[in-house]
Amino acid sequence: MKPILMSSIKNQDKTTDTRLIGEEPMEYTQPKEIGAEGEELVHIDASFEPLIPKFLTNRKKEVVTMQAALAAQDYETVRTVAHGMKGAGGSYGFDRITDMAAVVEQAAKTGDASTIERDLPALGSYLDRVKVVYE
């Protein structure tokens, strides 16, 4: 069962992404809380604190893996890694990771390199800017 975290209910606003996935617009949650120097703050239950550094390090490695796969036009690897990242993000309370990885996964399914080239760096940037606040 996924934990219900403060990050999923406070300081967030539902918006509709302009990119279409199939026939339906994809919804994602925009963070409203910005820290110093553009950091995006995510509130996570303190019991997750020992796990989060390795979690974030692994997601950064996965972005590198997807970039290499994209360069080789290996959309199946991009799709598989993005799918795993999508699930892991929500499990740890990083809804934005889930949302961004879902867009990359869908683009990989259709071989949409331009969307992946646009969104994969954004995902990497998010991982570099996210700051965890333990509660």
pLDDT at 36: 66
Beta-carbon contacts of residue 98 (< 8 Å; ≥ 6 apart): 85, 86, 87, 89, 90
DSSP single-letter state for residue 33: -
Q: What is the pLDDT of residues 76-134, one digit of tens each?
A: 999 999 999 999 999 999 999 999 999 999 999 999 999 999 999 999 999 999 999 99
pLDDT one-digit tens code per residue, 14-50: 333 434 344 333 444 444 566 667 789 999 999 999 9
The total number of structural domains in the chain stands at 1
Does 81 fall in a domain? yes
Tokens of 25: 């617009």
Residue 118 belongs to domain spanning: 50-135
pLDDT of residue 67: 98
Quote the CA–CA distance of 105 and 62 in Å, as a whole number. Answer: 13
Q: How many Å apart are CA 108 and CA 75, to the nearest integer? A: 5
In a domain, 91, yes or no: yes
Question: In angstroms, how far is CA 25 from the centroid of its own chain?
Answer: 17
Residue 127 lies in a domain: yes
* Position 21 in a domain: no
In a domain, 9, yes or no: no
Residue 3 has pLDDT above 60, yes or no: no
